[in-house]
Amino acid sequence: MLYRRRTLDLARGELETPVLFPVRNLGKRSSDNTPAYVGTIPEFSAAMINVRSIRNREPMWQRLTNGVSLREEMGVPEDTIVFADSGGFDFSSKEVDTTPAKTLDTQRRLDVDIYGTVDIPLSRENRDAENERRISQSAQYALEASDHHDGRGPLLASVHGYDPETVRNTLRYLEKHGDFDGYALGSMVPIRTDYEKVTKLILSARKSTEKHLHVYGLGGLVYQPLLLYLGVDSFDSSAFIRSAGNRNYLIPGFGGEEIRNIESLDYLPCPCPICGKRSLDKIREDRTALTQHNLWALATELRRFRYVAESGRDIEEYLDLRFQGNGVTQRAYETAKQQVRRLT
């Protein structure tokens, strides 16, 4: 097993890993759909933001550069740890409208804790030559960021690759020519249903470095235990928001279920602070409550894995049961297990 626990020493305090960064849609039109969670769910004292969206939202940017702190704008305590993604996912279909220096300047002015480099994600539709260009350009952006970074907080280089060898070679190139505190593996969301491919890409990255490894966009219920098993240190997710928007109720150990499919229940199968005293009807009517429950579900999934690991139980036996009944994820896990066993 590659699962590991570490501590990031940051300006605002220590952050225990592995950790999930809930995505905050600050700067987006949907910025008001993230409910309060810091201080209510112990695991989640951190957040992921998109600095491009914030800088391009003129009224917000004016407030943030005229006395309002980022955390005041977010409505969270000042000790909340913020990981600032460059907004690379926006460049999947748009031209890059920033530079590594401008992005670093934005991150510094927002007083973030963890810095992510500018990147251009891959997509299934792009031809190999175009994807190779994107991989190379993202690496060059990372090296430029390394040159400009003042060391104020950890710098994670964003990495992309369509096969394990490309991921491995890119990481080695960045390790040789730049100065990074860790790496963030991107372009996972478009291929998230190809569990075996995603698993191989993550393992390639994990085998290539002992530094902090983040995976963009795959922190949902199904992927979380797989990421932990593969030794990923952090991940982010907006699944709790998207699922609530689709009236999808997340159930730890199972996945998501549309509320309409369980309408015969008076109370939902979760004792979290949101569901414990609310009926199904109340949850259905309150999207904020459903979003908050979904966050609790993600926290519960993380707690269960940690319990199994820390209590000395067999992680692989737990995951055999966890993925039982879903042939696709079970095959991905079996693939991961074979490769992990060769490494440990």
Q: Is residue 16 pLDDT above 90, yes or no? A: yes
Reduced to 3 states, what is the DSSP secondary structure of residue 334? helix
What is the mean predicted confidence (pLDDT) over 141-145? 97
Helix (H) or strand (E) holding 177: helix 164-177
Reading the block at residue 129, the tokens are 């030559």
Reduced to 3 states, what is the DSSP secondary structure of residue 323? coil
Cα separations (Å) of 67 from 62, 77, 107, 211? 9, 16, 16, 35
Reading the block at residue 269, the tokens are 């199968």
Q: What phi and psi, each to the nearest 5 degrees, are found at residue 189?
A: -60, -45
* Amino acid at site 119: D
Reading the block at residue 295, the tokens are 């966050």
Reduced to 3 states, what is the DSSP secondary structure of residue 7? strand
Residue 31 CB coordination number (10 Å): 16
* Domains of the chain by residue range: 6-237
pLDDT band, residue 243 (cuts 50/70/90)? confident
* pLDDT tens digits for range 59-69: 999 999 999 99
DSSP letter at 159 equals E
Lowest model confidence (mean pLDDT) among 26-40, 221-235, 262-276, 279-293:
26-40
Give bridge partners of residue 13 from the DSSP assignment: 10
Give the pLDDT confidence score for residue 71 in this predicted structure.
93
The CATH class for the domain spanning 6-237 reads alpha beta
Reduced to 3 states, what is the DSSP secondary structure of residue 184? strand
Residues in the chain: 344
pTM: 0.93
* pLDDT tens digits for range 182-218: 999 999 988 988 888 999 999 999 999 999 999 999 9
Contacts with 259 (C-beta within 8 Å, 6 or more apart), sequence order: 247, 248, 249, 280, 283, 284, 290
Q: Is residue 49 pLDDT above 90, yes or no? A: yes
Q: State the distance between the two ends of the chain, measured CA to CA, in whole angstroms.
A: 7
